[in-house]
Each structure stands twice: as C-alpha cells, then as structure tokens.
Amino acid sequence: AKNPVRVLVTGAAGQIGYALVPMIARGAMLGPDQPVILHMLDIEPAAEALNGVKMELIDAAFPLLKGVVATTDVAEACKDVNIAVMVGGFPRKEGMERKDVMSKNVSIYKAQASALEKHAAPDCKVLVVANPANTNALILKEFAPSIPEKNITCLTRLDHNRALGQISERLDAQVSDVKNVIIWGNHSSTQYPDVNHATVTTSSGENSVREIIADDNWLNSEFITTVQQRGAAIIKARKLSSALSAASSACDHIRNWVHGTPKGTWVSMGVYSDGSYGIQEGLIYSFPVTCEKGEWSIVQGLKIDEFSRAKMDTTAKELAEEKSLAYSCLN
C-alpha cells in the first residue's frame, strides 16, 4: 500500500473547506488508491466548528483517510505536509478599504509562508485559493525563499472550468469534449478567458470552438463577462460565494499537477511568471500549462492577436498594482 500523503487545508472550518475536505478524503484530489492524512487549520474563533468538521470526517469512515489533525496552531498544521491548500484568509467586509483587506492578508500569508518553510515537507506543493489569490501566493513566495518558486501556485482552475462550462452549454456539447480554453492573468474580474485555441470534439472530429460557435460578437463580449462575473452571479443566487465548484476545481488543480495533464490538453494555473508572452517577471499570473512528473510548464508559442494582447496586459497591470499595494503594506 502507498504511504499516506499529508494534505493541509487552511480555513478548513469555512464554506470551501467543508466542501473540500470530503473530496480529498474520497480521493478526488490524489486518486482513489492514495491514502491521505488531513491537516486542518483555522483560527481560534472557529476552533469549535473545526472540531465539528473533524467529528464528521471520522463519522464518514472514509477508507482512504488515515488521520486528521485539526488545530489552530500554524506550526502543527504545517508539520511535514506534502500539499498545502491555502483557503483561509481575511474576507473583504462592506465599507473596508482595499488597502486594509490587503494588509490583513499580507500579514497572514507572510506568517504562513514562514511556517510552511520551517515545517512542511521540502517538496511541498502549495495552492493558494484565498483572495486576492495571485497576490497572496506572491507574498507566500516572497516569505518562503527556500520553497522553490515552481511549488507555489494560485487557483484559476475554477475560472477555467467555468469557461469550459459556458462553451459546452452554448454548444449543447459534453463539457468533457471541450478543451484548451485559457484563463490569463488575475483571479479577478480583469481575468481574460480566451477561446482562440479551444476545441470541441464532435462526431466530425476536433473543431475550433471559435469556428463552430461562429459568433465572434458573443465570444468577444458576453462569454467573457459571464466568466468574469460568474462569482458575483453565484453570490446573488446562493447568497453565499462559490464553494463546491471552488473545492472541486482545487482538486482538479492538484490532481493534474501531481498526476499530469492528458496529452494534447492544457489547464490554467496561476504561476510565477518567467516573462513568457511578455508578462513581466515577478507576478503570479494565470497561464496555460501542461503538467508532467509533478511539474508544470507554460505552454509556449501560442499566437496572440491584438484583442488578446490588450486584455492580457490589462490584467497584468492590475496585478502589478496589487503587488505594489501589497508591498506598501509590509512597512
């Protein structure tokens, strides 16, 4: 039998946490034959609720679940973890300034970066979900210099999956037959969902999504805003933000990272920019990536038209601004 993998979920007493931990315990993240030990972290006011989640995990009698650590101690939570899914953060409350929210999250991610650096397994893979996801991941990277930068990523897979969903609905096709959409940039409303390289498999073979939809007007406006604004639409409908789709996408992100992407398919991940596609280095930016042997690489050589270029630059500019705001909070 395989050795258990230790998976940390921060903010585990929250909404996404509640959807995510059973998925991990059932093998949706690491596979149906991979035992796991769950490490759940939350803050003191949520300690009792966190313990309730632990009780439910025990009650569910998941065969793959070999242990549960539920704690408010960051060092204990990070001890020897192989995967860290960072869902905990400070939410934006009504009337709060952007800078105040940023400042709270900068101090959380600075502290948790140090704890991961000191206590996590050396090859630990980190996925930041909590908003502002790209910038929280960047702060984590800056304050955990001994963790390789390739091991620190943020979640844009939910946006990617939302784009696949919109295309499949529009075509009345199976979502599993649509692939290679791209989310460029920030996990925010400036993100650019790009379908220029996307395909859909039909009885006649693999077709270009742009050609088969044959409605550039829809693709260049309504499709993009629907994906960008989907989080807000879920809040309006549910009176709560996306949780099951976020949790499921976090599992997809880690599963593809660890086990690879299928041949000919790429996914979107927020990763440290190496300057690909003219995106300045030093930002965590969402790119199309393929994964093999536990490592992602940015898909190279895609043709970028003027329309895409402008949108990719707008979202990069917002990330550069977030980065300076985050740095101004450090002093």
Nearest to ligand NAX of 158, 329 (CB atom): 158
Least distance between ligand NAX and beta carbon 117 (Å): 16
Contacts with ligand NAX in 77-96 (CB under 6 A)?
87-91
Does position 193 interact with ligand NAX (CB under 6 A)? The reply is no
Q: Are strands 36-41 and 65-71 parallel, antiparallel or unpaired?
A: parallel
Q: Closer to ligand NAX at the Cβ: 128 or 312? A: 128
Q: Where are the alpha helices (DSSP H) in the chain?
A: 15-25, 47-59, 74-78, 98-119, 133-142, 157-171, 209-213, 216-217, 223-228, 230-238, 244-259, 306-328
Q: Is 41 or 64 the residue whose CB approaches ligand NAX more closely? A: 41
d(C-alpha 74, C-alpha 32), whole Å: 29
Least distance in angstroms from the C-beta of 91 to ligand NAX: 5
- Which of these, 91, 147, 92, 94, lies nearest to 116 by C-alpha position? 147
To the nearest whole angstrom, how small is the minimum distance from the Cβ of residue 74 to ligand NAX? 7
User: Can you say how many angstroms the Cα of residue 237 is from the centroid of all Cα atoms in its chain?
Assistant: 22
Which of the residues are catalytic? 187
Applying CB under 6 A, which of residues 6, 7, 8, 10 lies at the interface with ligand NAX?
Answer: 10
Residues within window 242-271 making contact with ligand NAX, judged by CB under 6 A: 242-243, 246
35 contributes a contact to ligand NAX by CB under 6 A: no
Whole-Å CA distances, 235 to 166, 230, 286: 18, 9, 23
Residue 31 assigned to a binding site: no
C-beta of 95: minimal distance to ligand NAX in Å?
17
Is beta strand 205-208 parallel, antiparallel or unpaired with respect to 267-272? unpaired
Nearest by Cα to 36 from 12, 9, 67, 13: 67
By CB under 6 A, name the binding residues for ligand NAX: 10-11, 13-17, 41-43, 46, 87-91, 108, 129-131, 133, 155, 158, 187, 241-243, 246
